A and B are shown apart, each in its own frame.
Chain A
Amino acid sequence: MLKFENDRSKYPEKNADGTNIIDLESGKFLKIWQGPIHPGMTGNMSLELIIQGDEIMECKTHVGYLHRGFEKLMERRRFIQCFPICVRIAVPEPDFNEYCLAATIEELAGIEVPDAAEWMRTLLLEMARLQSYLAWIGGQAGAFGMGIIGQWTIWARDLVLDRFEEISGGRIYHMHMPPGGVRSLLPYGFEGRMKDTLDKVSQIMVDVERVMFNNSVFKKRSVGLGYIDPLWVEEYGITGPNARGAGIPKDVRKDYPYLKYGELDFEVSLGTDSDAFTRADVRRRDILTTIDLIRQIVERVPKNGEFMAEVPNVLHWKIPKGETYIRSECTRGEYGYYTVTDGSGYPRRINVRGPSYTHAIALMERMAINLNISDTAGVMSSLHTYPPEVER
């Protein structure tokens, strides 16, 4: 008869300094690579896993499959020319890049953005949050084998992208926030179509709640999975829903209100259990908040008036020497641009602070220990990371 050892704490054996003794030749361990093809919706990065049985003993994260060198490219571009390429830094959620870049340039150049442009930007950022979350649900559900949820939400996301297309002419890369304001105001009849879209998305969210969050399979697999200790939040620099799931109310929109968030009425959703299920639930409630916010914004966004500040000729726009950091709350946490200018027509340095960097590299390595390999995709999805944003 096979006999199972229930006490797994003695594997693998440890050195005196606490590191694992891993001898791949012994046949007890196996090294496997997960990725760099997409494990679920998380993009191109890979996990180098050392497993014993189906349990992960050690994990090393590898990135670099998507590095395009945008930060460096931007140093060789005029300020206006950074605007079309910065969006590619976070593919599923480009608008936060547009906003942060524009806001840093505006602050350094001393440009005041018209009120209508601020409303438009707030709207675009919330719409970006909505579509990004809708794509994420598909990934999270898919990682646990529930493909149908992704099909519903990707359709709902496409409806939001239709609205983006109406405003900006682009579905994925909207490029609607050049430094100085926005490219145009809302098209005629937009409010009605947006309302219709939000109604459909709300309906989908009811279905998602029933089929995904009230689902014994999902609960069985996600409750207690991927625990983030609240103490790690400061240690690792965790932000966004990953921190809020641990009960820590971190939200740039509330903590450092930017654009029009100070004038909007919303609550930050919090969780207590800090596991994959809680984080998913925090995000689900975030979607509902976002839908409500979009309704509020659409009502208040000016229908006419100035939407672009007067900017100097962008072909030889020189910005005075200075440096600044602008942050915004994206779906994954704090998204920031640190821009340094030296008085020339080109940025001296633009550093992008994407939340995925901390979540996907350091945090994942720690969370993967003692995980079942079938759960890694689910844990990665529950961190909601985007490798394009890690790599830049």
Chain B
Amino acid sequence: MSFKDVLMPFTAWKNLFIEPVTIKKPDQIQGASRYRGFHKNEVDVCIGCGTCEEICQNAAIDMMPVEGIETKDGDSGLRPMIDYGRCCWCALCVDICTTNSLTLSNSFKWNSTDPDDFRFIPGVDEKYWNNDKLGYVKADGYDLNPVERVEMGELHPEERDRSFVEMVTGYSREQAQKEADRCVECGICTATCPAHMGIPAYIKAVREDDMEEGLRILYETNPLPEICGRICTHKCETVCAINHKGDPLSIRWLKRYIADQVPSDKYKEILGTDKIEGNGKKVAIIGAGPAGLSAAHYLALMGYSVKIYETLKGPGGMVRYGIPEYRMPYDQIDKDIDYILSLGVEVQYNTKVGEDIQLEELGKDYDAVFSATGLHLGRSTGIEGSDHDKVYQSIELLRKVTLEEEIDVAEKIVVIGGGNVAMDITRTLARLQNKKYGKVNVLTTCLESEEAMPADEEEVIEAREEKAVIDPGWGPQKIEIEDGKIKGLHVNKCLAIFDEEGRFNPKFDNDNKKFFEADMIVESIGQGMDISYTEKIKDQLEFGARGRIIVDKKSFQSKLPWLFVGGDIIEGPDVIHGIANGHKAAVGIDTYLKDK
């Protein structure tokens, strides 16, 4: 200790001449630009997936119904309510938010004498920080769950462009588990799926590598997993929560993965369907398509004796006769259907109801009838020249391909239509041309612009990879015929498809014209139904828009109590709706026959 030690402390007196550092008005301080303050939520962007609730370790978040927000496809209708008695502002809810709608503001002052005030729904309840520009948001490059899809292996365009071998190769176990890992288990997919499949549950089974459990979950709601795992229109993926910030889960491919892993001879053992006790009642089903097979499956499990009447010589309906083999291989269709038939379901092929057998007879012979005859008629554009015999319907051609009938494939083909069926026929014809001529010359055109085309994006990309030309946005005007031979198709630029009232009424730019050369034209602009078999009982049924039979939406029962109608002729064209209809109709028939 020295004299210095006595004097040194007095240097503290210099602070007398320094400005005070105390902040005079602390209530005016704002948090830093990344401050983790009070919650904000863009309610219109939020889909109520509940992932924030799931990750919150303090259980500070509850999903609540909110006035003015309706439950719909892709939106649970719920919004997060936050309890500031429990919240610790860790912002994991912001990081995991699938839509990036939940953020934090940089406000942190909130006084209230009522403890219940501190429970609020961000974005819905009026709060002064709702318009704060600053605050914590998830940084780019920081993700707590992978947002990129595991790529599905596909055959190279050159390997597939002249063959009908299945082009998608399927996931390996590692790939499937990695993809299944991305699921946040929100269940928005389940709500949207027409069949309400237990999607998060079977994805969990993939993660846990429990294929038997996965198969059981699939068969609870869908007896055609191999088919749906390949060609389902996957509305589930469209609404998938992850779709908002990355690629949606490959729900369809994961379903296919489960079904592919289990050999067909194990199905009965796994699903516990070795012995089914009959209940002595009989149900007839018209049409062995997805809806009919689905109804047959569930009815057979309930003990009904089921017989299907099918016009064509094989089962599967549009799945077999409308979808090309490179997308839906026949052996996989057979795997699903053989299992259903093994439950005791009978099928009588080559029998057309209305011609070979009458519907009223079925009504008398059976306790109930389920009709799912599908949309097997093509629609014509009706333009000049469309009655030429080289103008085909896509449905008709696709059926011929499956039946292995001869098709006179021309060298230059134009396809009219922008849906998935148009892509199917385009790619089928491209393959056939490639086989016959060694080159492809198919052009597909449609009214819709590239963005508005109803076909799946990947279908369009793959068709182009196979060297088909897709030129959307043109309206067909006239088929040029010279000396009885088709020369080509005149088209005008399409400006709008619907008029101001939303009706189909395309507008064309008559100055912007094109001519597509062709020897053969295929129309693929929609499908129609043939329900002439109902002719004799017509007055006992009710018909709605576009001649569709009106049925009860829950049981699919028509005005005639013994007649149930479903599938594409009610809610089509779509395989998963058909399966869902079949299931509901089976339950409806069961309820009806139990009460009887």
Q: Are chains A and B native binding partners rather than an unrelated pairing?
A: yes
* 156-214 of chain B: CB within 8 A of chain A: 181-185, 204, 207
Q: How far is it, in angstroms, between the C-alpha of A290 and the C-alpha of B32 when the chains are bound?
A: 24
B142 contacts A207, C-beta separation under 8 Å = no
Given contacts A84-B90, A313-B145, A315-B55, contact A166 B139 (CB under 8 A): no
Interface presence of B21 (CB below 8 A): yes
B141 touches which of A84, A173, A175, A307 (Cβ 8 Å):
A307
A170 contacts B89, C-beta separation under 8 Å = yes
Number of chain A residues whose Cβ lies closer than 8 Å to a Cβ of chain B: 44
Given contacts A166-B34, A169-B34, contact A306 B11 (CB under 8 A): no
Interface presence of B91 (CB below 8 A): yes
Whose C-beta in chain B lies nearest to the C-beta of A114? B141
Which of B2-10, B309-317, B399-407 is near enough to bind chain A?
B2-10
Q: How far is it, in angstroms, between the C-alpha of A170 and the C-alpha of B96 when the chains are bound?
A: 19
Interface presence of B144 (CB below 8 A): yes
Interface string of B18-54 (1 = CB under 8 A from A): 0001000000000111111000000000000001001
Contact partners of B88 in chain A: CB under 8 A = 84-85, 173
A187 contacts B181, C-beta separation under 8 Å = no
Contact partners of A183 in chain B: CB under 8 A = 95, 139, 142
- CB proximity of A107 to chain B, nearest CB, Å: 19
A211 touches which of B4, B8, B144 (Cβ 8 Å):
B8
A210 contacts B9, C-beta separation under 8 Å = yes
Contact partners of A312 in chain B: CB under 8 A = 145-146, 181
Interface string of A268-293 (1 = CB under 8 A from B): 00000000000000000000000000
Contact partners of A162 in chain B: CB under 8 A = 32
Interface presence of B143 (CB below 8 A): yes
* 160-211 of chain A: CB within 8 A of chain B: 162, 165-170, 173, 175, 178, 181, 183-185, 187, 207, 210-211
- CB proximity of B567 to chain A, nearest CB, Å: 37
Contact partners of B146 in chain A: CB under 8 A = 310, 312-313
Interface centre among A84, A185, A311 (most CB of B within 10 A): A84
Given contacts A81-B55, A165-B32, contact A313 B181 (CB under 8 A): yes
Interface presence of A143 (CB below 8 A): no
Whose C-beta in chain A lies nearest to the C-beta of B138? A183
A314 contacts B96, C-beta separation under 8 Å = yes
A84 contacts B9, C-beta separation under 8 Å = no
Contact partners of A165 in chain B: CB under 8 A = 31-32, 34-35
Q: How far is it, in angstroms, between the C-alpha of A184 and the C-alpha of B91 when the chains are bound?
A: 13
Whose C-beta in chain A lies nearest to the C-beta of B242? A313
A307 contacts B32, C-beta separation under 8 Å = no
B182 contacts A313, C-beta separation under 8 Å = yes
Number of chain B residues whose Cβ lies closer than 8 Å to a Cβ of chain A: 43
Contact partners of B91 in chain A: CB under 8 A = 169, 175
Q: How far is it, in angstroms, between the C-alpha of A312 and the C-alpha of B184 when the chains are bound?
A: 12
Contact partners of B4 in chain A: CB under 8 A = 214
Contact partners of B452 in chain A: CB under 8 A = none
Q: How far is it, in angstroms, between the C-alpha of A210 and the C-alpha of B136 when the chains are bound?
A: 41
Total A-B contacts with CB atoms under 8 angstroms apart: 121
A313 contacts B184, C-beta separation under 8 Å = yes
B144 contacts A316, C-beta separation under 8 Å = no
Contact partners of B136 in chain A: CB under 8 A = 169
Q: How far is it, in angstroms, between the C-alpha of A81 and the C-alpha of B52 when the chains are bound?
A: 12
Q: How far is it, in angstroms, between the C-alpha of A251 and the C-alpha of B183 when the chains are bound?
A: 44
Contact partners of A315 in chain B: CB under 8 A = 51, 54-55, 96, 145, 184-185
B142 contacts A307, C-beta separation under 8 Å = yes
Whose C-beta in chain B lies nearest to the C-beta of A179? B144
Interface presence of A148 (CB below 8 A): yes
Given contacts A155-B21, A170-B36, A170-B89, contact A311 B144 (CB under 8 A): yes
Interface presence of B57 (CB below 8 A): yes
B57 contacts A85, C-beta separation under 8 Å = yes
Contact partners of B35 in chain A: CB under 8 A = 165, 169-170
B54 contacts A80, C-beta separation under 8 Å = no
- CB proximity of B164 to chain A, nearest CB, Å: 37
Interface presence of A215 (CB below 8 A): yes
A84 contacts B57, C-beta separation under 8 Å = yes
* 528-542 of chain B: CB within 8 A of chain A: none
Q: How far is it, in angstroms, between the C-alpha of A306 and the C-alpha of B142 when the chains are bound?
A: 9
B11 contacts A168, C-beta separation under 8 Å = no
Q: How far is it, in angstroms, between the C-alpha of A280 and the C-alpha of B204 when the chains are bound?
A: 56
Interface presence of A216 (CB below 8 A): yes
Whose C-beta in chain A lies nearest to the C-beta of B57? A81
- CB proximity of B204 to chain A, nearest CB, Å: 8
Contact partners of A207 in chain B: CB under 8 A = 11-12
Whose C-beta in chain A lies nearest to the C-beta of B89? A170
Q: How far is it, in angstroms, between the C-alpha of A216 and the C-alpha of B181 when the chains are bound?
A: 65
B34 contacts A187, C-beta separation under 8 Å = yes
A169 contacts B104, C-beta separation under 8 Å = yes
Contact partners of B104 in chain A: CB under 8 A = 169
Contact partners of B383 in chain A: CB under 8 A = none
A-B contacts, 17 of them at CB < 8 A, read A80-B92, A81-B55, A162-B32, A165-B34, A169-B135, A170-B36, A210-B11, A214-B8, A310-B143, A311-B145, A313-B181, A313-B182, A313-B183, A314-B96, A314-B145, A316-B204, A316-B207
16 more A-B residue pairs beyond the given contacts A178-B95, A219-B5, with a C-beta to C-beta distance below 8 A: A77-B57, A81-B92, A85-B88, A165-B31, A166-B33, A169-B136, A170-B89, A185-B139, A214-B5, A215-B8, A217-B9, A308-B143, A311-B145, A312-B181, A315-B54, A315-B185
List the interface of chain B (C-beta within 8 A of A). 1, 4-6, 8-9, 11-12, 21, 31-36, 51, 54-55, 57, 88-92, 95-96, 104, 135-136, 139, 141-146, 181-185, 204, 207
List of 6 A-B pairs having minimum Cβ-Cβ separation, nearest first: A84-B90, A81-B57, A313-B145, A169-B36, A214-B8, A184-B139
